[in-house]
Structure 1
Amino acid sequence: MYALADYIKTELINGVEYDMSPANIQHIRIQRRLTMIIGNFLQGKKCEVFAEAEVRLSPIDHLIPDLCIVCEPSQVKDSHIEGAPDFVVEVLSPSTRRKDITVKKDTYERFGVKEYWIINPKEECIEVYRLNEQGCYYLDNLYQNFTPDEWERLTDEQKAEQNLSLKISLYDELEIQVKDIFEM
């Protein structure tokens, strides 16, 4: 109980403060796995991955995404990221779900984050949003993790429609297996 009393993390979105609760273990595992996969791939490359770094989009918009990629080194300051990352991931939690899929998504879109992933641990699915030429997000694809039993119940046609791996638009050669994100 004492650790929670000392836990103070706040986001500022459009001038409104939002307190953040500590993440649950499933959330932390997903975040860690994805950070490791992407971080290993980015070794020696220009872009860098950050977990829970403060991102200052404007004086009234300071967010803390679960994970982000920044490809412009000048944006990386000692205490925060200055400006929009190229890529952002939010892992849904019961306490942040509504904010992540509405307010934060709209804010990332408004500031030009090129790609936004919403990971739902409970449903084991990932929504991938990308910016179009007009600067608006569109749902590029939905990725689902399947248990062996769920997979066996699908028809051959349904199996053919599934995408079991996904790529970050920044790097076509980085292919991530959906199951690797949710693997326990």
Structure 2
Amino acid sequence: MLPSPKKYSYEEFLDLTKDKRAEFIDGEIYLLASPSFEHQIVISKLNIELMNFFKNTNCIPILYPFDVIFENENTGEINVVQPDLTIICDKENITDKGYKGIPKLIIEVLSPSTASIDYIKKMSLYSKFKVEEYWIINPRNKTLQIFVLEKDLYIEYAALTSEDIAYSYSFNGLSINLKDIFNW
């Protein structure tokens, strides 16, 4: 039997990762590597589209590295993630330490080293804290999966390729031509 990974407290996480990009999920620390070119170009193009859509609204897209802090006040449980893109509609929850609240939409761009974390750990965390919509983009395959929270579980709302247009479940009128995002 393999030993289980060490669980850390939130305070240990803060102390151990002062000068590092890291996430803290269910007591485990995940150090973040530098992203690939494909990752960066996809997220940059997507951010431009989102900034234009959310201009003059109460919502704002935020690029990583920016801490999104999920805290269960009843249990004291704290998780910290740095999604590639986060749509925040309650700006009053932005502090000097990051954002402490529940985003309406989180977007992750897969890297080979993070795919299992994005699909398993983060999907579980986001559903637990009731993030309404979750997008996972695969830049190598040029695909996008949109998941929507239904009865505390994510269901696949759409599975799209670079030839498709992505329509948000949560934001009426938000559509992204994936050909524009995957064209580099």
* Shared fold per TM-score greater than 0.5: yes
CA separation in 2, counterparts of 1:72 and 1:60? 19
CA separation in 2, counterparts of 1:143 and 1:12? 30
Match of 1:25 in 2: 37
2:140 equivalent among 83, 100, 122: 122
AA aligned to 1:135 is: D
3-state SS of paired residue (2:160):
strand
Give CA deviations for 1:127-181 in whole Å, capped at 9, x if unaligned: 100011x1211011100115xxxxxxxxxxxxxxxxx111222322121101111
CA separation in 1, counterparts of 2:96 and 2:153? 31
CA separation in 2, counterparts of 1:16 and 1:74? 28
In structure 2, list runs of 5 or more residues that go unmatched.
1-18, 72-76
Greater mean alpha carbon deviation, residues 11-20 or residues 172-181: 172-181
Match of 2:167 in 1: 167
Match of 1:8 in 2: 20
Higher helix content, 1 or 2: 1
Kindly indicate whether residue 169 of structure 2 is the aligned counterpart of residue 145 of structure 1. no
3-state SS of paired residue (1:170):
coil
Alignment root-mean-square deviation, CA: 1.3
- State the TM-score, normalizing by the size of structure 1: 0.83
* 8 Å contact from structure 2 (residues 38, 140) kept in 1: no
Match of 2:123 in 1: 105
**1:72 to partner: Cα distance:** 1.1
3-state SS of paired residue (2:47):
helix
CA separation in 2, counterparts of 1:68 and 1:26? 19
How many residues were matched structurally? 160
Match of 2:178 in 1: 178
Match of 1:4 in 2: none
Give CA deviations for 1:47-73 in whole Å, capped at 9, x if unaligned: 111001210002530000000101112
4+ residue runs over 6 A deviation: none
In structure 1, list runs of 5 or more residues that go unmatched.
1-6, 147-163
